[in-house]
Structure 1
Amino acid sequence: MDIRTFQSADEVAQEAANFIADRIRENIAKKDFFTMAISGGRTPWEMIKELAKQDLPWEKVFLFQVDERIAPDGHPDRNLTQLFKSIENTKLPTRLNIFPMHVVAEDLDEACQEYAETIKRVTETGKLDLVHLGIGTDGHTASLIPGDEVLAVQDRDVALTSNPYQGRYRMTLTYPLINQAEKILWIITGEEKAEMLSRLLQQDPTIPAGSIGQEQTTILTEESAAVAFN
């Protein structure tokens, strides 16, 4: 595991953008396209803004969602809504290759299956080049929530939570898909995340984040969150 610590969340966002840009260039040089799944969060949206400043072949970049709340299109609770806001007034092309989770579908189980099939079709191998993750103060990551039945899903790459979390049911990538990604990038900022970062590093099985693979992992964090291992 590669752990890099910075003085502020802004620096983390900038370094995350640089890290992703490097992975994009490497993969496009190797196979002519790049696939990535993005999580939500304040620092990640700043990361996207910084990434948008990079001179990259965006037509060869394919963006997926790590998770999404079951809410109407355009709702502020939606990660997709915040993603679109983060790229407003940037130099990104108007037609990005973004694949939203279809959380307004009548049959959400079918929508999960279709999303998994889309990932397999676009990636060609079923493996994403990069999955970006964050961690909650309860140890959740993606929408893999403590105590939820979705934690036990091993036969599907995309699934629904069994209970509402913070008022919303969720659609999420599951452990099997996340753990086979070529690279996993954690962005962890804020003093309130220090305990969970420590438990993540220990691969604590009692928190959802502890079951994410670590061999292909890079963690970018700020000093206030890294006190546990400084």
Structure 2
Amino acid sequence: MTNIFSSRDSREALELLSEQFAMQVRRKKEEPFFLALSGGETAQQMFRLWTERFSGRIDWDTIRFYWVDERCVPPQDSESNYGHAHELLFGPLNILPAHIHRIQGEEEPAAEAVRYAQEVREELPHRHGIPRFDAIILGAGSDGHTASIFPDSISLMADQNLFAVSAHPGSGQKRITMTGPLILNAAMLLLPILGKSKAHITPLLLGNAPERELLPAGYVISHARHISIYTDPGSHPLQPPLPDK
């Protein structure tokens, strides 16, 4: 089932996403909640929102943090997804280090993909023989990529390894990414598609044209059992205008 939520701006979209995420955390009560995070500007905006508005509304001690993908750089690097999360979220909320399971981007990529897959396999509950996250928060690039699966590496959507090595098609930078089967096994997928840079790709991702499955984000939307998508007027300019509050 696909739910699409159209908001007045990106902050309202992320507030709605966060409210739904918080509700799922409360449903598990004191049990560990396994969450996989993405990186990028939208994630950074979300982390700031969480520290400002949700610090006292979520039991952060129950959450176990993992990553959808990571650039192959040290954690102190300005491009590290973990580094941004540490600065904007983990530090301000005093998250216990034992609850943070980062991809070690400074290690040899292929070996680290294997190591991290084994850690996820050992720590998470399983469904259909595959680890199952309680929630995965994805992103979508202007080229239709999600996680670090790009259109030229769409085969990773069917890769039976939990994590694999990919490369950015422009820079060639290596990434470690979650693969399709693990993404699609999550209990809940949350996908914000925000900003004017996504305006040309959003109609294709949300439409029914068969070519959307050639885009990683479109493939996920097509195959997900349950996914919630959040848009704003910049990313989805053809959506009907919302009434004033």
Same fold flag (TM > 0.5): yes
The one-character-per-residue Cα deviations of 1:50-85 (angstroms, maximum 9, x if unpaired) are: 323233332221111111111123100111111112
Is 1:193 matched up with 2:198? yes
> Relative to 1, partners in 2 of residues 1:66 and 1:165: Cα closer, same or farther, differing over 3 Å?
farther
Q: How does 1:84-103 map to 2 (within 5 A)?
A: 84-87=86-89, 90-95=92-97, 97-103=99-105
Match of 1:228 among 211, 217, 238: 238
> Relative to 1, partners in 2 of residues 1:224 and 1:168: Cα closer, same or farther, differing over 3 Å?
same
3-state SS in 1 of match to 2:136: strand
Contact 1:67 1:173 in 2 (8 A): yes
Q: Distance in 2 between matches of 1:19 and 1:142?
A: 21
Q: Distance in 2 between matches of 1:46 and 1:23?
A: 21
- Provide the identity percentage: 25
Aligned to 1:26: 27
Aligned to 1:116: 117
Contact 2:167 2:173 in 1 (8 A): no
Contact 1:150 1:174 in 2 (8 A): no
> Relative to 1, partners in 2 of residues 1:119 and 1:155: Cα closer, same or farther, differing over 3 Å?
same
Q: Distance in 1 between matches of 2:58 and 2:154?
A: 39
What TM-score results when the alignment is normalised by the length of structure 1? 0.89
How big is the shift at 1:195?
2.5
The one-character-per-residue Cα deviations of 1:163-205 (angstroms, maximum 9, x if unpaired) are: 6543411000000100111110001111221222222223612
3-state SS in 1 of match to 2:152: coil
How big is the shift at 1:42?
2.0
Match of 1:127 among 126, 132, 140: 132
> Relative to 1, partners in 2 of residues 1:195 and 1:164: Cα closer, same or farther, differing over 3 Å?
closer
Q: Distance in 1 between matches of 2:98 and 2:45?
A: 18
3-state SS in 2 of match to 1:195: coil
3-state SS in 2 of match to 1:141: coil
What TM-score results when the alignment is normalised by the length of structure 2? 0.84
3-state SS in 2 of match to 1:87: helix
Q: How does 1:80-229 map to 2 (within 5 A)?
A: 80-87=82-89, 90-95=92-97, 97-106=99-108, 108-125=109-126, 126-148=131-153, 151=156, 153-161=158-166, 165-202=170-207, 204-212=212-220, 213-229=223-239
Q: Distance in 1 between matches of 2:62 and 2:96?
A: 14
Structure 1 counterpart of 2:9, one-letter code: S
| RMSD after superposition | 2.1
Mean CA deviation greater in 133-142 or 53-62: 53-62
**Paired residues, number:** 227
3-state SS in 1 of match to 2:18: helix
Contact 2:110 2:165 in 1 (8 A): yes
Aligned to 2:59: 57
Contact 1:59 1:96 in 2 (8 A): no
